[in-house]
Structure 1
Amino acid sequence: MSEHPNVMRMREGYEAFGKGDLDRLRDLWRPDIRWHEPGGNQLSGHYTGTDEVFDLFRRLFELTEGSFRAEVRATFADDTDGVAVVRLTAHRGDRDIDVVAAHLFRYEDGLVAEFWEAHTDQPAVDAFYA
């Protein structure tokens, strides 16, 4: 049985993110993508459009001194929804973070239209990015 095309797109997206290939991410996302970061820290909030999301990524990598990594553990998708279970690691100075998150995707016409993140330890994430 072959993978759903949105599972393949999800994997391509994580690979592109890991390489810093923003052009490939633009190909996989709607230009008006809506991105939701949970919690109460300096990265929390709602972002609209690829430029705002890419600015979020820039801030993320600045804060983590380029150390942020997203290790995909599992992916699931159908025509409209997708989920990735992801291990997130990074360091900031002498602080480290290592949490698991669920990444939720909503697809429209094969492109990511919306993204939500849910961490297994939101207080630790908030403290790390405080």
Structure 2
Amino acid sequence: MTEHPNVMRMREGYEAFGKGDLERLRELWHPDIRWHEPGSNPLAGHYTGVDQVFGLFGLLFELTEGSFRAEVRATFADDTDGVAVVRLTAHRGDRDIDVVAAHLFRYEDGLVAEFQEAHTDQAAVDAFYG
């Protein structure tokens, strides 16, 4: 059984993110991607367009002193929706974070059109970034 093309695209996206390959991410995303970060912290909010999401990534890496990592544990997708279970780790000064998140993707024409994140411990995430 072969993988769904959107599962392969998800994996390519995480690999590109890990390498800092923003051009590859730009190819995998809809230009008007909508990105939703939950919580009450400096990263929380709604971002529209690739450039705003890249700005979010810049802040993420600034706050985590470049230590942020996303370890993919499982991926699932069909023609319109995808889910990744991801372990997120980082440090900030003397603080560390290690949580699991569900990343929800919505696809249009093979491109990520929308992304939402749900953490297993949102309070810990807010305290870490707050």
Shorter-chain TM range is over 0.9
Aligned equivalents of 2:8, 2:14: Cα separation in 1: 10
Q: Percent identity?
A: 88
The letter for the 2-side match of 1:124 is: A
**1:6 Cα deviation from its structure 2 partner:** 0.0
Residue 119 of structure 1 is matched in structure 2 by 119
- The ranges of structure 1 where at least 4 consecutive aligned residues each deviate by more than 4 angstroms after the TM superposition are none
Q: CA deviation at 1:12?
A: 0.0
In the alignment, the residues of structure 2 paired with residue 55 and residue 129 of structure 1 have an alpha-carbon distance, to the nearest angstrom, of 16
Secondary structure at the aligned position of 2:65 is classed as coil
Name the structure 1 match of 2:98: 98
Q: Equivalents in 1 of 2:44, 2:4: separation in Å?
A: 31
Which residues of structure 2 form unaligned runs of 5+? none
- Aligned-pair RMSD on alpha carbons? 0.2
Which position in structure 1 is the counterpart of 2:50? 50
Paired positions, count: 130
| Matched residue, 2:25 | 25
TM-score (norm 2): 1.00
CA-to-partner distance for each residue in 1:54-92, whole Å, 9 max, x for gaps?
000000000000000000000000000000000000000
- The whole-number CA distance in structure 1 between the counterparts of 2:28 and 2:75 is 16
1:82-120 Cα deviation digits (max 9, x unpaired): 000000000000000000000000000000000000000
Counterpart of 2:68 in structure 1 is 68
